[in-house]
Amino acid sequence: MSRISYLNGKFLPHDDCLVPIDDRGLQFGDGVYEVILFKNNKLIDSNPHIERLFRSLNEVKISHNFDKEFFQNLAKELFQKNNLKKGSIYLQISRGVMNRIQNCPTGFEPTVVATVSPLKNFSQEEFEEGISVITSDDIRWHRVDIKSLNLLPAVLTNQKAKDLNFNDAIFVRDGFVTEGTFANVFIVDKNDTVITRNADNFILQGITRNRIIDLAKKRNLKVEERKFGVEELTNAKEVFLTSSTLILRSVTKVNDKIISNKAGEISKLLREDYLNFIG
């Protein structure tokens, strides 16, 4: 069966989903997106994901008449048409199609695109081994809290890490860690306190991030949402990244500093708790 995607009210073969040259998403990156995990015939944390999508639409002033049920039903139907039992859905909404002008006109229908993909399964061995990251200047704009289509700084920084034979990069702004190129950053200090940057305009408040915080508190772990610098990062007992598709990936090397030889105990527990949650 060929891959099926969604474009403006129609479920079509993926290669037939084409948008006009004048679409604002293509010409300006003028749009937002969301990624939601799907397993056991349900969307994982769909309410906060869709609420964040609506928030992003509101922040960039894209008018629409969608409701939560529209996206939930679209997602379930798209997974069904692709015969996928688990995976992720990518939702993208641009301001729509119009002549190329530099301001943000109103009165146009937004372009809605949705695709689904199988979920990459990281083995227990891969998780235990962990990944390596570099730290890099955060060259993104000042509204990272909006899940917009403007991802080129993250893409270039991620490639920079791979060119240096690292797996990923962690952004640093004004001496403080913000987040990974496509994930939130957590550290565990020597007192087993779980620490992640407080949600501000320099990070995307990840839905998986929030769930991990909740699971950590249910384990009676101390959790702090605050700024921390590179020195605290490299001296941490454990480091890990979270996102909808990564779930939780242990970081065992930062720059030239070995954090640990394998995933830490708290990282293991929280990953197991999250897998139980989505299962």
Selected catalytic residue, list 81, 120, 147, 160: 147
Distances (CA, A) of 97 to 16, 17, 28: 18, 15, 11
Per DSSP, the three-state class of 153 is: helix
Token pair 């798209």 is found at: 78
Q: Where does residue 84 rank: exposed (0-12), middle (13-18), buried (19+ CB within 10 A)?
A: middle
What stretches of 82-169 show up as alpha helix (H) in DSSP?
Answer: 124-129, 152-163
Token pair 């987040």 is found at: 179
Is 147 noted as a catalytic residue in this protein? yes
CA 207, 56, 151, 121 torsion: positive or negative? positive
Residue 110 structure tokens: 């937004």
Give Cβ neighbours of residue 120 (< 8 Å, ≥ 6 apart).
245
Nearest CA among 207, 210, 184 for reference residue 197: 184
Which residues are marked as active site? Answer: 147
